[in-house]
Amino acid sequence: MHCPRCGQQQISDQTKFCSRCGFQLGIVGELLQHGGYLPQLAELQKGTTNIFTRKHGVIFSILWLIFWMMLIPAFFSALGANRIPGALAAFGFFSTLIFLIISLALLKRAPKAHELQQQQMPGSSPASLYGQNAMRALPPQQTQPASTYMPPEGAWRVPDTGDLARPGSVTEGTTKLLKNDE
């Protein structure tokens, strides 16, 4: 397992924190065990299905129209009632319009399938679970020549590594001073 923030390879999948940057890796191991999703989030999504959506409102309005304008008037006309089927058809038409307007204006639209998958798997990397910017991949490889790691002349610290530079020998320093006096 590699740290999603710095790319450091970890000793074990059960490591809780990155040894290089300190990133919390507990959730990363769980994501790897379950194939990229968290079962706790899937359980939460099961309980949040909402039947009061715009799509369901429109479907209900169409079924309401069919019931009150086609089925009920046909039933009463078969019984021999003359004026009741027309009144029921008018009631069905106007009540359908009211249901349709209410469902389009007040009900929320149902989430699409790809939106549900994004809700179950928040972000493409676990870093987004902690509110941090998600890193999509490891940083690009950087090549530096070996000469950049050599200490400059007279410096007491090696650049980029933080290691102390080796001091010159006493005889070399004395020889340099003698050459300067001549």
- Over pLDDT 70: what percentage of the chain? 64
**What is the band of 164 on the pLDDT scale with cuts at 50, 70, 90?**
low
Please determine, for residue 116, whether its predicted confidence score (pLDDT) is greater than 80. Answer: no
Q: Could you read off the pLDDT of 130-146 as tens digits, one per residue? A: 444 455 667 666 777 66
Query: In terms of C-beta density within 10 A (0-12 exposed, 13-18 middle, 19 or more buried), how is residue 88 classed?
Result: buried
| DSSP character at residue 107 | S
Find tokens 């409102």 and name the residue: 57
User: CB–CB of 24/9 below 8 Å?
Assistant: no
Please determine, for residue 147, whether its predicted confidence score (pLDDT) is greater than 50. Answer: yes
Q: In this structure, what token pair is assigned to residue 158?
A: 């090696």
Q: In this structure, what token pair is assigned to residue 70?
A: 């086609």
Q: In this structure, what token pair is assigned to residue 134?
A: 């998600």
Q: Could you read off the pLDDT of 24-55 as tens digits, one per residue? A: 887 777 777 777 777 777 666 665 567 888 99
